[in-house]
Structure 1
Amino acid sequence: MAFGPSSRLGVSLFDETPPVECISGSSPEELEIVIKAVYRQILGNAYVMESERLTVIESQFKLGEISVREFVRRVAKSDLYRSRFFTSCPRYRAIELNFRHLLGRTPIDLEEMRVHSTILDEKGFDAEIDSYIDSDEYQSNFGEDFVPYIRGYKTEACQNMVQFTHIFQMVRGASSSSLKGDLAGKQPKLNSLVIQSTPTPVISPASSGAKFRNPPVTSRTRHGVDASENGKVYRIEVTGYRSNKLNRVSQFRRSNQVYLVPFDKLSQEYQRIHRQGGVIASITSVN
């Protein structure tokens, strides 16, 4: 089952759209729907111009010479995919995007990332793509005839809750693509989070939380002293710092910040953040 109201988490389109399957005897119009669904999923919701379409493999698919799975494989191995998501991206960004596009989830842990990095080193790009599509996981979830789809926001698709929270870093609304409209762009989003098995906030992209990008994994700033005997410590995630001057030429934005604040200092810290022009993305208890 999905976690929370899908409309608030930015996954409503994924949740409400049934998986696309190619059925024997499909009409040309139905086959075109499958083709578009493959492009949308494998190319990360990016726009595909007519001149970029892979007409040869589209024709093979329409003639029944290859299955949906083989069509997915050839799109993922194409120069179009390689140029967008491999040669122009750092290695671990490319790997995490492969997980999103081909298995519909995020990596489980650092070891899984290392396995795919080793495949790239020893066997190359084509073998890396094959490792997803030839996996038991792909076969059991999508088989020969289903187009892969985003499924990591459903808890049963994850092996742990850390991995579950990471999908919301990779998928921030169905209208954005894997690269455009994303604060990370071509930089890795999950690398440090996977290395240290760090969960991330699940925040609606419709709120100010959409602007929050988890800061680099370093020591967090702690304001005040430890919680009192009857108190708690809260984690405040802040984004959108801007200058409060009215006559400014540009809006100066600092990095996102995370603060650990005892309960008796919470109100004071809340006021300080807003005086400095910050926007609180979330406040959660850490003990």
Structure 2
Amino acid sequence: MGNLTASASLGLDAFEGAPIELRPFASEDDLQEVIRAAYRQVLGNVHILANARLESAEALLRNGDITVRGFVRAIAQSELYSSLFFDGNSQYRFIELNFKHILGRAPHDQAEIRAHVSLYNDQGYAAEINSYLDGNEYIDNFGEATVPFPRSIRSQAGIKNEGFNRMFSLLRGPATSDLGKGAKLISSLAANTATPIKALAKGNSTYGNLGKSFKIAFASSQSAARLKRVSQQTVVVTFAQMSQAVQNIHKSGGKISSITELAS
């Protein structure tokens, strides 16, 4: 009988998320460890009640009818995941969490975010989730049997050095949940700047891109005399103004479709 691969370390591995693999002929204890790890990773450390568990998907995994990848898909496609990370969240926050939960890394750049915003708008929720699970990146790193983990905390091929800072910004600690509504990386991704872990000291030099301007395109919903109209709008902001502008758009019910750097 095979055993579950997991680290017992309480040090850095606890923060990194050591790989956990479901091997053939695993015991029930091994299976439960995989299930717990999958919930923890895909639901971003959010505590769930026993009656919220996906019992049908767990049974399919136990019987060998789906793989760990299939179980991860079931969680991410569930009403539970949608209620936690899609309903009430901005598209940007939803997408950056999909990268973290399913691929174990932060988005590389604004182009990745823009591509997934376009995919969701054109094909919907299920297609957005499936795009991570069906891609070569997922298969190459996790295959069918390994629970996703925060891999960009470690040096790996294909992940830029900036991925370390961005993943730390999303993780914030092994016991912290992902229930926060605000996107964490929207400004640094749009400006293509480094993501600081600590605030810059007063008088410190700023990054070159911080002096540039950006155009935010968004759909704004307006209700008048029972007629709900959706209008496409744009606003031009500086980097310093971007975070507040994004918050204002989300608070007013708008949905951002793109953020574009303007030529100097």
The answer on whether the counterparts of 1:95 and 1:116 sit within 8 Å (CA) in structure 2 is yes
1:176 pairs with 2:176: yes
Match of 2:186 among 177, 180, 191: 191
The CA deviation at 1:12 is 4.5
The answer on whether the counterparts of 2:18 and 2:149 sit within 8 Å (CA) in structure 1 is no
Closer/same/farther in 2, CA of residues 234 and 120 from structure 1, 3 Å limit? closer
Closer/same/farther in 2, CA of residues 12 and 234 from structure 1, 3 Å limit? farther
Amino acid of the structure 1 residue aligned with 2:107: P
Query: Would you tell me which structure has more strand in proportion to its own residues?
Result: 2
Amino acid of the structure 2 residue aligned with 1:195: A
Instruction: Give the total of aligned pairs.
Output: 198
1:123 pairs with 2:123: yes
The answer on whether the counterparts of 1:151 and 1:157 sit within 8 Å (CA) in structure 2 is no
Q: How does 1:225-244 map to 2 (within 5 A)?
A: none
Amino acid of the structure 2 residue aligned with 1:200: T
Corresponding residue for residue 13 of structure 1: 14
Amino acid of the structure 2 residue aligned with 1:42: V
Amino acid of the structure 2 residue aligned with 1:14: F
Corresponding residue for residue 66 of structure 1: 66
The CA deviation at 1:163 is 2.8
The CA deviation at 1:201 is 2.6
The answer on whether the counterparts of 2:152 and 2:159 sit within 8 Å (CA) in structure 1 is no
| Counterpart Cα distance in 1 of 2:123 and 2:107 | 20
| Counterpart Cα distance in 1 of 2:78 and 2:146 | 20
| Counterpart Cα distance in 2 of 1:12 and 1:20 | 12
SS of the equivalent of 1:47 reads coil
Q: Which runs of 5 or more structure 2 residues have no equivalent in the other structure?
A: 1-9, 207-239, 241-264
Identity of aligned pairs, percent? 39
| Counterpart Cα distance in 2 of 1:105 and 1:190 | 12
Q: Which runs of 5 or more structure 1 residues have no equivalent in the other structure?
A: 1-5, 180-184, 203-208, 215-220, 224-232, 236-257, 259-287
1:138 pairs with 2:133: no
RMSD: 2.2
The answer on whether the counterparts of 2:185 and 2:195 sit within 8 Å (CA) in structure 1 is no
Bigger Rg, structure 1 or 2:
1
Q: 193-202 vs 72-81, which deviates more?
A: 193-202
Corresponding residue for residue 91 of structure 2: 91
Corresponding residue for residue 248 of structure 1: none
The answer on whether the counterparts of 1:162 and 1:197 sit within 8 Å (CA) in structure 2 is no
Normalised to the residue count of structure 2, the TM-score between the two structures is 0.70
| Counterpart Cα distance in 1 of 2:57 and 2:156 | 33
1:36 pairs with 2:36: yes
Corresponding residue for residue 239 of structure 1: none
Normalised to the residue count of structure 1, the TM-score between the two structures is 0.64
SS of the equivalent of 1:98 reads helix
The answer on whether the counterparts of 1:162 and 1:198 sit within 8 Å (CA) in structure 2 is no
| Counterpart Cα distance in 2 of 1:196 and 1:42 | 28
Closer/same/farther in 2, CA of residues 148 and 188 from structure 1, 3 Å limit? same
